[in-house]
């Protein structure tokens, strides 16, 4: 009887760490996309709006929700940031997930305005931008694209087209999943509560 119980326990544990993980092919059930395998994201030099170098551990040592946008964006980016703020606020382990907003519009956002815009949605959110090459390298790694739309009048106001997805990087800095902001309320909270519970 004891042997049988032991066997059940061994099988049970074995399932918990290996077999069940394989069964559970979707570790991010609400993600719209999960790259297989997870993709390396290059360490690029980014700066905050006021020109200070972004911390080296900006994208590692914690989960990152990464978004590409621009601070003059009145509808799409605020919706995404509000969604991220709501999901983040409900997380069981908020400190394990950092939200990083990358402005693809350094011409206008290399300014204290960037931090004001991003922190408006949550004071813990980080806004960064950088040289075009650095932004492009980072965007390319996760499959994000953007285009600075030509202004209607020369020198006039312009808008920016960009991928409207939240990219998730794991604590090693690899891109592991993408989410559609706002698609399902509670989706990111649910997935991350599960992840941080399982992986500590």
What residue ranges bind other proteins (CB under 8 A)? 71-76, 78-79, 82, 113, 116-117, 120-121, 143, 145-147, 149, 152, 157, 159, 161-165, 182
Nearer to other proteins, 137 or 163 (CB): 163
Phi, psi (rounded to 5 degrees) for 101: -105, 120
Smallest gap from Cβ 54 to other proteins, in A, equals: 20
Smallest gap from Cβ 106 to other proteins, in A, equals: 16
Nearer to other proteins, 171 or 182 (CB): 182
Smallest gap from Cβ 196 to other proteins, in A, equals: 24
Nearer to other proteins, 62 or 108 (CB): 108
Smallest gap from Cβ 9 to other proteins, in A, equals: 48
Core vs surface per residue 38-59: b (16+ CB within 10 A) or e: beebeebebbbbeeeebeeebb
Cis peptide bond prior to 37, omega within 30° of 0: yes
Q: Pull the structure tokens for residue 9.
A: 């326990």
Residues 107 and 111: their CA atoms lie apart, in Å, by 9
């Amino acid at each position: 009887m004891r042997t049988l119980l032991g066997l059940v326990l061994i099988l049970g544990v074995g399932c918990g760490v290996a077999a069940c993980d394989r069964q559970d092919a979707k570790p991010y059930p609400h993600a719209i996309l999960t790259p297989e395998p997870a993709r390396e994201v290059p360490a690029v030099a980014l700066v905050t709006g006021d020109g200070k170098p972004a911390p080296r551990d900006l994208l590692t040592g914690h989960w990152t929700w990464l978004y590409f946008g621009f601070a003059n964006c009145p509808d799409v980016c605020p919706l995404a940031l509000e969604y991220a703020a709501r999901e983040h606020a409900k997380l069981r382990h908020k400190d394990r997930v950092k939200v990083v907003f990358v402005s693809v519009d350094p011409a206008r956002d290399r300014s204290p305005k960037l931090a004001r815009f991003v922190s408006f949605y949550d004071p813990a959110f980080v806004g960064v931008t950088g040289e075009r090459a650095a932004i492009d390298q980072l965007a390319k790694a996760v499959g994000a694209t953007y285009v600075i739309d030509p202004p209607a009048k020369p020198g006039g106001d312009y808008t920016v087209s960009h991928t409207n997805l939240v990219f998730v990087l794991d604590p090693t800095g690899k891109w592991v999943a993408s989410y559609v902001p706002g698609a399902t309320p509670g989706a990111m909270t649910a997935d991350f509560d599960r992840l941080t519970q399982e992986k500590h």
